[in-house]
Homo-oligomer: A and B are copies of this chain.
Amino acid sequence: MDNFTFFAPTYFAFGMGTENETGKYVKRFGGSKVLIHYGGGSVIRSGLLDRVKQSLEKEHLTYIELGGVKPNPRSGLVYEGIELCRNEKIDFILAVGGGSTIDSAKAIAAGVPYDGDFWDYYEGKPVENALSLGTVVTISAAGSEGSPDSVITKEEGMFKRGASGEGLRPKFTIMNPALAQTLPAYQTACGITDIMAHLYERYLTNTTEVEVTDRMIEALLLTMIHEGPRAIKDPDNYDARANIMWAGMMAHNNSCGVGRTQDWTSHEIEHELSALYDCAHGAGLAVVMPAVFKYNLKHNVMRFAQAAVRVWGCQMNFENPEETALAGIEALRQFLISIGMPKNFAELGAKEEDIEKLAHTACYGNVNTGTLGGFVELTQKDVENIYHLMV
């Protein structure tokens, strides 16, 4: 196991009705003038935004609003939010929504006290200082509610990049699983896929002797396999939503990723797809993951075999572990199809003729300089091969 530090100081309030305590937590964590940041109409239609506002008013907090966050959130709205916060002397940002809204709020929080262009952070500068931030989560997926990360799409060139840093951890996060009950099945499935991807990205490590984090990752994957289909079949199943919601946070607060190298190949390859075609991140990952895993299989057959046996219940073929490893990847693929995820480029709306461009942007983006991947170092040619497996 490698040396590491771990610090996850977000306060979580979990359960029915917790959104009505939002104001209390904003106050506890020092907010007085709040920007409420959200996406489209669903938080308005469901009455959630009104309940949150009432809870702020109860604590005599003032607020302004900035809606309009889109999936794969854009830099344009971030610039607008930074300007607004500066003009209105906002001291606390409250994200009400899913990962896109939270990530957009994080970008604004980082940008407000920063003299330069906020995009610097998305080119690799660590975020140490940011405005205080709280979240009310409506979708289990990104894990951004407990993580120090944010992903934004730059409109010039339509590429997606991530920022990271302790300044981006929310001070508090409100998690009411009932808020997810109105989600369409497709979005629920996208969230499940994203959570599973966060787990696989950590599972695919070159660090040996990491049984504790292996077992924790497997535990969270097993939870998704059990609860995911239940939430999709019965959207009102509160308990299934609750298990998924806690698993989604634990999958990405990094307690199961410490002390080991991580991969993030699937995310990097997917980001180019959702940036270019504006498909859902989870849907993209469903197509990307099996292709990446098959391509990287021979790098460590036993690691994939372990997942196959422990997570997917495959019988170990001791004479031919590769067969077991492949069976595990196929089980993942079939699971993702069974919850309604796309299985190839066509279903995703991606185009074969873009592959060279996609692979080039992935490998020569702002952060990468010719290769990507923490598990196997992949060149542009490798990435092209992987995209071709998805066609």
Contact = CB atoms under 8 A, between A and B. Distances in A.
Interface in A333-370: none
Nearest to A11: B7
Given A250-B255, A255-B255, A4 B15 contact: yes
A80 B209 CA distance: 43
The number of chain A residues touching the other chain, given as a range, is: 35 or more
Contact of A211 (B7, B213, B218, B227): B227
Interface stretch (A82-90, A101-109, A239-247): A239-247
A313 to B, nearest CB: 12
Contacts of A70: none
Contacts of A12: 4-7
A191 to B, nearest CB: 15
Interface in A8-66: 8-18
A222 interface: yes
A259 B212 contact: no
A223 B211 CA distance: 6
A346 to B, nearest CB: 35
A224 to B, nearest CB: 9
Contacts of A247: 212
A239 B9 CA distance: 27
A136 interface: no
A242 to B, nearest CB: 4
Nearest to A242: B1
A226 interface: yes
Contact of A212 (B17, B208, B212, B243): B243
Nearest to A218: B219
Interface in A233-280: 239-240, 242-244, 246-247, 250, 255, 258-259
